[in-house]
Every structure is written in structure tokens, then in C-alpha cells.
Chain A
Amino acid sequence: GENVEQHPSTLSVQEGDSAVIKCTYSDSASNYFPWYKQELGKRPQLIIDIRSNVGEKKDQRIAVTLNKTAKHFSLHITETQPEDSAVYFCAASLGAEGGGNKLTFGTGTQLKVEL
């Protein structure tokens, strides 16, 4: 089955700096890659996703890049703010377009934005 590795496990940045979280996946057939943010004591919530026919997607201060050849994808957060502090999870799955296909999650990155 799919295996997703995520690095780093913890990341500390100064407010206003950029943060980058990287994930690799094992199954070359995976075609959907979402990122979830989980604040302390809360549920995970989708912040951005990318499909395999796209190399990059951006939404305000958040961007995701995908390299299918190398089987890795990354989350980029620019101009970080204290409210960006949370745990971020990457995930991969087959068949985003409907289908019951399951997400395989990375182990998470604890991002801390320091003032």
C-alpha cells in the first residue's frame, strides 16, 4: 500500500519568515495530495490540495508543489503569522474524483511561529 513520509517533525520559524514542509509518497499511481491543518484540540481541516495533473497551486500565503517524477510534494507558507502555529499533515490517495479511496497520512509537522 501507499506510504507517506513527512519532514520535518517539528519546525520553528520567526514571524514573517517562510516555512516549508516536505512529503514523499511511494505509490506512483497516487493522484491526489491534500494538506490538513490541525490546531491544538481541534479537528483536522483541509487547507489546500493538488491533483497530479498540476505542478503547483497557490492560495494567498499558502502554496503546494508536486514533483511526480520524484514522488514528492511540499507545502510552502510565506509571511508566517502566529495563527499559522499548528500541526500540518500531508496525505496521498488514489482516485480523488469520487471513489471511496482512502487517504494515507504523513506523521505530521508541528509548526511553531515565534514572535
Chain B
Amino acid sequence: NAGVTQTPKFRVLKTGQSMTLLCAQDMNHEYMYWYRQDPGMGLRLIHYSVGEGTTAKGEVPDGYNVSRLKKQNFLLGLESAAPSQTSVYFCASRVWGEQYFGPGTRLTVT
């Protein structure tokens, strides 16, 4: 049981490049979330999903897209990366109450 995993762990992008972050969970959780964490700003919700095939916007969705084609996977896409998207990205899944976080992806956009 791996819990929540994220791929990749680190990435450096140039402005304007695109990439996809993958989150996978093996706990059969319905709900999945993408957060970004910046110094002094806590964890801010980007997008979330309440089940396979569903997505919804969070607090800071601009510049990101998501997809949940399979229950166990939640993908976060950056179509045209900007330096303001330099951050640590955490995925989480949840069934009752507790959210389980992945190990994080550190993204730098130059």
C-alpha cells in the first residue's frame, strides 16, 4: 500500500513550457485535491475532484487544468508555465475527514 504518490519529485521548466504532474492513490478514495504551497501562504487549493470524471475549481485555479479519467489518478497540467507558478505542489486524497498528502513536487519556472 503506497498511499499517495506524485511524479515527478522535482522539475525545472522554462517560461512557456508545459508539463503534467501525476498523482496516484491506491486507497480507493473518491476525493482528490491539488494544492500549492508557497512560503508564508500555507496550502492553497488549486483544483479538486469528488469522483472519477469530475473536477472543480479551488482557490487559485488560473493557469492550471486537471483531469480525473481514472479514480486512482488525478493529473495537474500547466499549459504555459510562468515564474509565478514556482512552488511546491501537493496532491491529497480523502474519504472520511482526513486528507492524505503525497510527498510533493518541487517545480521551478525560470
Contact = CB atoms under 8 A, between A and B. Distances in A.
Q: Top 6 A-B pairs ranked by shortest CB distance?
A: A100-B50, A43-B101, A107-B42, A105-B42, A105-B43, A100-B31
Interface in A73-115: 89, 96-100, 102-108
26 contacts: A9-B40, A34-B97, A34-B99, A43-B102, A44-B43, A46-B99, A49-B98, A89-B42, A96-B96, A97-B96, A98-B96, A99-B50, A100-B30, A100-B31, A100-B48, A100-B49, A100-B50, A102-B33, A102-B45, A102-B48, A102-B58, A105-B42, A105-B43, A107-B40, A108-B40, A108-B42
A2 B58 CA distance: 12
B contacts with A: majority SS:
loop
Interface residues on A, range: 20 to 34
Nearest to A107: B42
Given A9-B40, A42-B103, A100-B56, 16 more contacts: A34-B97, A43-B101, A44-B43, A46-B98, A46-B99, A49-B97, A96-B97, A97-B97, A98-B95, A99-B50, A100-B30, A100-B31, A100-B51, A102-B58, A103-B99, A104-B45
B2 interface: no
